[in-house]
Amino acid sequence: MNLVDFLLLNGEEFLTLTLQHLFLVGVSTGIALGVGVPLGILLTRRPRFSPPVLGLANIFQTIPSLALFGFLIPIPFIGGVGARTAIVALVLYALLPIIRNTYAGIQGIDPAVREAGRGMGMTDRQLLLMVEIPLAFGVILAGIRVATVIGVGVATIAAAIGAGGLGVFIFRGVAMVNNTLILAGALPAALIALAADFLLGRIERRFAPGRGQLAEVRAV
Amino acid sequence: MHETRAPVVQFRDVALRLANGRAIVKGLSFDVRPGEILVLLGRSGSGKTTTLKLINRLLLPSEGKVTVEGRSTVEWDPTQLRRRIGYVIQEIGLFPHFTVAQNVAVVPTLQGWEEERKRQRVRELLDLVGLDPTSFADRYPTQLSGGQKQRVGVARALAADPPLLLLDEPFGALDPLTRLELQRELKQLATHLAKTLVFVTHDVREGMVLGSRIALFQEGRMVFLGAPAAFLNSQHPEARAFVAALREPQTQPHPSAGEVE
């Protein structure tokens, strides 16, 4: 059976798994954004905490994804089998690029710009909202983009702990030594990753051109 | 006549110490008189910039008291104080994501002016600093030359019509001709608008051109304060070093090339 026939025959399951996949990635990236951006901003205000926090986020990133899912299962409240555990793991993966880019993006802003802002009587909040976040936006968005693409890939492994997603086809295909089945999971996942990368990349570029320092800051 | 009016800024026995006790400035007692251009002159690291930052509360004194318009900077709300004081720095620090008009209108925006009033003020200020509003208002800072950027920097500092302007080597990174041009225009502007200026520089020529009075700094202390004519005749060794530099063609006691970069 070829891939197209398979997908036509199993349309309903394919749709369910795709939606599960998008749900896992969407929710986890959303949570990671909600935690990571404020945390990254906080680190720019208390730079001495940045090595331990970034170090910790780095460690999560180095744990092989299958192992991380496994580690989380026995942990009470966040653990167990299912989507919740998978989302926790995906959040841990997404945090590093988001925190790091938020921090680096804001740290990379020309200090003179910050001094001018403070010298003109901007409050810390105004400086953040009017100057620092807009200037770091391209870099922060690049972090979100990386986090999303990683998330789409790692989410295929969530099937191993019963969280669903396109990984279900992949694991089934591996077990049955059926390449069509593996492709039915892998190809759509790859397409989702590419689409997310393309869309976020376009948004990123919209905030870059002709805006002076942004180009330099992005290079950080 | 100036002497009878209350000083804009007063320093009384001011010192600023680091955590390790080393003083960056010490024993500062002087007044900034309304309408004058007070030039803070000195080598790199002599405490001029620190003194400037003590005025707009970017720094607080560890000893003594700095008073602005009769109120100690400790009592001032920092943002309110800074919005009443124009601030121009050598690196200019224009916001790269704002147009020239938006940059100039920063303080009016912070103070919640209406759009029409802001637009009018921006036109007025760009005219004042010699930039044609129709061709410059909508440009971004990257599309400007160094001299044009600093003109915008000056316009931005003047936006909310502050009585006092602090300038920290504003022309330090400009080419000599643009620099001369801007010095002249600034002096005219200050007189015309009746502003009080505190101007930091390491360039004695610039100090002589601009200053109503010159305050000479050495190792965190003010070692001379007086009119440019008196400065020329000062017997203080540091003053004499600067005056000697003035007589030499285009040299300074400490060419701070590194600072200008």
- Pick from B55, B76, B97, B148 the residue to mutate for testing the A interface (most A CBs within 10 Å): B97
pLDDT in tens, B230-244: 999 999 999 999 999
Residue B229 has pLDDT above 60, yes or no: yes
Residue A215 has pLDDT above 80, yes or no: no
Mean pLDDT, chain B, as a whole number? 91
Residue pointed to by tokens 């805006």: A211
Cβ atoms < 10 Å from Cβ of A82:
14
- Pick from B81, B106, B140 the residue to mutate for testing the A interface (most A CBs within 10 Å): B106
Model's pTM, two decimal places? 0.83
The arithmetic mean of pLDDT across residues B117-129, rounded, is 95
Q: How high is the pLDDT of residue A82?
A: 85
Confidence of residue B250 (pLDDT cuts 50, 70, 90): low
pLDDT in tens, A36-95: 999 999 999 999 999 999 999 888 888 898 888 888 888 887 778 888 999 999 999 999
- Single out the residue of A158, A110, A150, A103 nearest to residue A131, CA to CA: A110
* Beta carbons of B97 and A211 less than 8 Å apart: yes
In order, the DSSP letters of A2-38 are -HHHHHHHTHHHHHHHHHHHHHHHHHHHHHHHHHHHH
Find, in chain B, the residue whose alpha carbon is nearest to that of A133.
Answer: B97
* Beta carbons of B97 and A214 less than 8 Å apart: yes
Residue A108 has pLDDT above 50, yes or no: yes
Residue B132 has pLDDT above 70, yes or no: yes
Task: Report which of residues B134 and A207 the model is more confident about.
Answer: B134
Confidence of residue A213 (pLDDT cuts 50, 70, 90): very low
For CA atoms A116, A118, A119, A122, give the dihedral sign. Answer: positive
Q: How high is the pLDDT of residue B4?
A: 60
* Beta carbons of A112 and B110 less than 8 Å apart: no
Are the C-beta atoms of residues B138 and B122 closer than 8 Å to each other? no
A112 touches chain B (CB under 8 A): yes
Find, in chain A, the residue whose alpha carbon is nearest to that of B95.
Answer: A113
The arithmetic mean of pLDDT across residues B141-150, rounded, is 93
pLDDT in tens, A116-164: 999 999 999 999 999 999 999 999 999 999 999 999 999 999 999 989 9
* Beta carbons of B142 and A210 less than 8 Å apart: yes
Residue B124 has pLDDT above 60, yes or no: yes
A110 touches chain B (CB under 8 A): yes
Residues of B whose CB is below 8 A from A113: 93-96
Q: How high is the pLDDT of residue A78?
A: 79
